[in-house]
Chains A and B, each alone.
Chain A
Amino acid sequence: MADPKIIVFTCNWNAYNGLETAGAKHLGYSPAVIPLKVMCLGQISPGIILKAFENGAKGVLLLGCPPQACHFEFGNRRAEEVYAEAKSLTMLLGYREDQFRLDWLAAGDGQGFVDKVEYFMAGLSGRKGRS
């Protein structure tokens, strides 16, 4: 079995900038984190989330723009709807609450990226979920 992987979806705007800032500032985090960029979190369908888990992701973290700061104005409203829908599906399939999370990240907040990723991973570690 491969190393456990954490998929972090970021939108192209605030969240991606936060991810990049963490890099530019050389702030370290776990190599288990694999980022995937989409234009807007609203672009992700529940099917993609399920696909990630189905393929063996240990956790899926969605990072978008802060409330009221969505680049597309309504994208994070759609993201929340998708999240709710996908959440119920993952729970139904036996994945734990901690394994799937929606959060936001402000542009330029590199430390925020590291903190949020670490917080998410701390929730995963030590406890068994479906994997």
Chain B
Amino acid sequence: MIAPVETFGKKGALILGGSPAGLQAALDLADIGAQVHLVEPSPFIRKVDGSHQFNTRLLEIARHPNIRVWTNAWPSRVEGKAGHFQVEMRQHPRFIDPAKCTACGACIAACPVTLPGTGHKAIFLDGQPGVMAIEKLGKPPCANTCPGGIHVQGYIAMVAQGRFQEAIDIVREAIPFPGICGRVCTHPCEINCRRAEVDQPVAIRLLKRFVSDWELANGTPPKSARLVEHLPQKVAVVGAGPGGMAVADRLARLGYGVTVFEKLPVIGGMMAVGIPEYRLPRQVITREYQHILDLGVKIHLNTSIGPDGKYSLDDLFAMGYGAICLAVGAHRSLSLAIQGEEFQGVVHGTELLKAINLSQRVQDSSYRSQVEAFLRRGSKTRVAVLGGGNTAMDVSRALLRVGVKDVRILYRRTRNEMPAMPEEIEDVLLEGVKIDFLVSPVRVLGNDKRGVTGLECIRMKLGEPDASGRRRPVPIAGSEFAINLDLVVLAIGQAPDLSFLGSDHGIAIRRDERINVADPSFMTSRPGVFAVGDAVTSDKMVVIEAIGMGKQAAASIDAYLRSHPLEAVVVDAREVPIARRELTEAEKIPIQRASVPVISMEERLSSFCEVELGYTAEQAVAEAQRCLACGPCSECQACVQVCKTGAVIHNQYVHFNELEAGAIIFAAAPEQFSPLGLTEGNGCYRLSPDDTLSASAAVARAIKYVDTSHIPAFLSPQTLRVDEAPRIGIFVCQCGGEIGAVVDTDEVCKRCASLPDVVHTQTLAFSCLPEVAGIMRVVIQTHNLNRVVLAACACCTEDLVCDSCTYQRLRCKQNLGLFGNTTAGVARTAPLEFVNIREQCAWVHPANPKLATNKAALMIEAALAKLRIQNARLGISTQVDPTALVLGKGEAASVCKQVLGKYDINAQRLQGLPREVRRVDGQYTVFRNGKTFQASAMVLSPCDDHEAALLLEAFGRPELQPRPQSAGDGSETRRPGVFFCDPALDPQICGAAAATRLADWLVRVTSHPSKTAIVDPTRCRACSTCVKVCEVGAPGLIVGDQRRIRSWIDPIICTGCGTCAARCPSGAISAGTVSNEQLEAMLGVILAGGG
């Protein structure tokens, strides 16, 4: 619908604000040949009062070849001066392609987000252009922060609606481990959740766990058959932890053969050996890995890689793996470097956890004896765990569960600095572990057998913040003390163990003992070898981070195997803002976060049973409803899935456009003016948003700064080539099922194909898309069609925007080239007829598909009957001279005359009262003092009401008097071409406004096809019936050719109602969009048709 911006040359006009005044100014300027940018800051120009007239006006603007409508846009910078303004326009995306949206509303039904305050969905339609828009301020903070790229707000919104299957689908789209992450994720999303500003964050992790549990119990199993193709290349992944498996999962989905080599006897990597079962039950890991195995991924356990392992990297390449991804994790614990660390009874946290975890899993009894060896005094073993991270918490709680009674944590800072998740710390304390804060170990105390007997510690205080931003602990001199212990557990961090690579592996290792990978491709210095996870970073990866990294690496590996440049893999780096809107008062009311049920303390301490039980469906829904919908669009993609035309585009970005404008008219909310930094006056005019009269007056001032040479040229409908034998084509639109679900479009085509002269029938999925117009053009040319019927939702081929028109109907007509100045005018080579089989068949007869189909076929057949007959109304435009008469003694008269001069209209002012004003030869003719004056148009500018009444009376009977139009500002009258200046108003404004409207009217008359009735002089018997029938005085008797008296219809006055044609006894008059002859033919077809 929108003219391409480059066709707009210099010196157009910029109109700010889609208000009534803004629309008036836009139409005024566009009609007189100026190119107009109409800018509306919101996504829609709204119907102010819901009136049909306003809707029609909005559509007129939408289709006007001289108007470019910018919605969701506003100038970010304006420079220059009158005649040469430079404007930088900030265009916020609509996220909808206006050329494709059919406004079917399926997306609104699917959208789970209702906007606080407005009550409409995040995707909505509220005015013109009549296509959807998505309310999206940016990325919701939760989704923005998720390393795994989950549309967090999206699945929360789905849970809130009880749409659990869609919720789990959204999670699965991003990550393969919803159940695992639902239990152990460190949930950066919750940390960034805006709900925390009100009370506590939404329990996002637990909601993910809920949908995962729900899926297991009720859902359809995850779609494993996403494979589009099987690619010949194979990829080897080393390490079956979350990072490696994320790589495997993504690549398998792309069709690659993936084999995972795992050194340990179990799957899961650190998730299985580092995280205790009470937090992450093993069957959850097994289940989620099984989905990946179902994609064809193979896992080899107990299989080391490297010179000392089963296969070296060279072996893997030789075995046909095109790429290798190292995801070996960080399994080597860091040492504390204190005296006595080598004593028996000092153990690394991950090692202890591995032993405990594996002793429960693997048949191998060595793990059990390892655990027993660590716990020398069984349940009486006194243990201190050094560290403040999640490993320290996990070890402590696991030790309680194997029966140890005396477990304490020593941490050198305070609880505030502890890196472990707050809920973990809480659970640790709840289960009876003592945490000594601000305590640091000095040395391990041992006996002569080098066995641990205790730990010497020192108390600390907090000093200045260090590089990590946490306050640095400083020892307090002389505060040393000793604790008696049997076991010291070091849980102060891990590093990767890269010794497996041996030497001479060609892979660069950084100084911090991490594999050096290229950013952002994750390829090591050895081509074809990639690495992810803790092996490449010191940032202490958590599960979701490893998954996120794995996804990126998988994309790089895919590019590498396709020999695409790896740099190209980077996703669009344009920064998307984080959504941050004002919360409404209602949103600021606290709602308690749903607490999650847990098992009893007794059960907890005596087993490795999962502590959290998870939410019930009711709890989950209530918890999800706490979400504040920050986006507000959640990017759940539900709209994308239901949109049949693919009109939703979520990855649109803010655009800045440079425009030039000769003049600027501001008609938006007053407070929006001053930020623009404009000065009122030369070339910049400021209007009250509702003042349409001042808008037209401002146009009169603005035109000297704008180029008005772009006179719009509208096209008339193609005339019928009567001399050619009919070759008819019939297109039946299915409207993406809206029509097709009720009307059997194939059956309609079949029936129509058997009609005489029909050479082509075809169904169309969506006739209002631009590419479909192209298809129709090709078909019309290929089959040399000279008559075409399109059965869709559009209802007329006229150059007309009536009360019933819609954006999509206009778009369809415009795509087909039924209006002028369009580059897409492609199908306009044969006369067209439209039939509306959506609103008049499919949508009103859903219970009767058979009869609806029959009716649709009949309506098409009737349209064909109409097409066979030439309508005499040719639709040529009427030519008028640019002349005007200005009548009356009002002050506005001289203003008006002067402004008319600016529009190059030859205006003549008559001050005295006319005796009579009549239409003669298609001109307004004034009789005064024995003289006659003629012009195409008139302005009445009385000095008072008395003169106004006398001027009106001069036109004759009331129907012929130019009274003000019922809707409008009083400037336009019911008499075509007659304008009025209200003596009660500012003469400068109403004089200029009347002149502008008159100038517009002259252009419209000449550039649009006339709707006038036409008299066939050979059949006219001059009976005067038409003259009597028409109350506006369009027909009149004239002396025609060969001095024969006949009726002639004044094309300016005729409104095209067709009443004269109905009454003409000799059938000499053709009028309206359908002639009597055509109506009779249509009736014949409709009533003859059977069921």
Contacts and interface: CB of A to CB of B under 8 A. Distances in A.
A, B bound: yes
Interface of A: 2-3, 5, 7, 12-14, 16-17, 19-20, 22-24, 26-29, 31-32, 34-40, 42-45, 47-48, 51-52, 55-57, 71-75, 77-78, 82, 107-108
B1071 A23 contact: no
A34 B1089 CA distance: 12
B803 A56 contact: no
Contacts of B851: 3, 31-32
Nearest to B1055: A72
Interface of B: 52, 795-796, 802-804, 836, 838-841, 843-848, 851-852, 854-855, 858-859, 862, 959, 974, 1029-1032, 1055-1059, 1061-1063, 1071-1074, 1076, 1079-1080, 1082-1084, 1086-1091
A51 B846 contact: no
A53 to B, nearest CB: 9
Contacts of B839: 19-20, 22-24
A28 B845 CA distance: 6
A106 to B, nearest CB: 10
12 contacts: A7-B1086, A12-B802, A16-B802, A20-B795, A20-B840, A22-B839, A23-B836, A26-B844, A34-B859, A38-B1074, A39-B1056, A42-B1059
B1031 A23 contact: no
A38 B803 contact: no
Contacts of B1091: 2-3
Contact of A73 (B854, B1031, B1074): B1031
Nearest to B802: A12
A25 to B, nearest CB: 8
A44 B1082 CA distance: 14
A17 B801 CA distance: 12
Contacts of A72: 1055, 1057, 1059
B15 to A, nearest CB: 29
Contacts of A19: 839-840
Given A20-B804, A43-B1072, A73-B1031, A28 B847 contact: yes
Contact of A13 (B803, B844, B1032): B803
A28 B846 contact: yes
Nearest to B1061: A43
B845 A3 contact: no
Given A12-B1073, A31-B854, A75 B1083 contact: no
A119 B155 CA distance: 49
B1062 A55 contact: no
B959 A27 contact: no
Contacts of A5: 1086-1087
A13 B1056 CA distance: 13
Contact of A43 (B859, B1032, B1071): B1071
Contacts of B862: 36
A78 B1059 contact: yes
B1076 A47 contact: yes
Nearest to A75: B1057
B437 to A, nearest CB: 67
Given A7-B1083, A7-B1086, A31-B854, A39 B844 contact: no
Contact of A31 (B838, B848, B1084): B848
Contact of A55 (B52, B836, B1087): B1087
A17 B804 contact: yes
B1058 A43 contact: yes
Given A24-B839, A36-B1082, A73-B1031, A31 B1058 contact: no
Nearest to A113: B844
Contacts of A38: 1058, 1072-1074, 1079
A-B residue pairs, 5 tightest by C-beta:
A23-B839, A43-B1058, A42-B1059, A31-B851, A55-B1087
A41 B1071 CA distance: 12
Contacts of A82: 1062-1063
Contact of B804 (A2, A16, A74): A16
Contacts of B1057: 39-40, 42-43, 71-72, 75
* Most chain B CB neighbours (cut-off 10 Å) among A2, A56, A107, A108: A2
B1079 A36 contact: yes
B1062 A45 contact: yes
Nearest to B849: A31
A16 B1087 CA distance: 21
Contacts of A13: 802-803
Contacts of B1063: 45, 78, 82
Given A23-B844, A43-B1057, A17 B1083 contact: no
Nearest to A56: B1087
A43 B1061 CA distance: 7
B370 to A, nearest CB: 71
A24 B843 contact: yes
Contacts of B1073: 12, 37-39
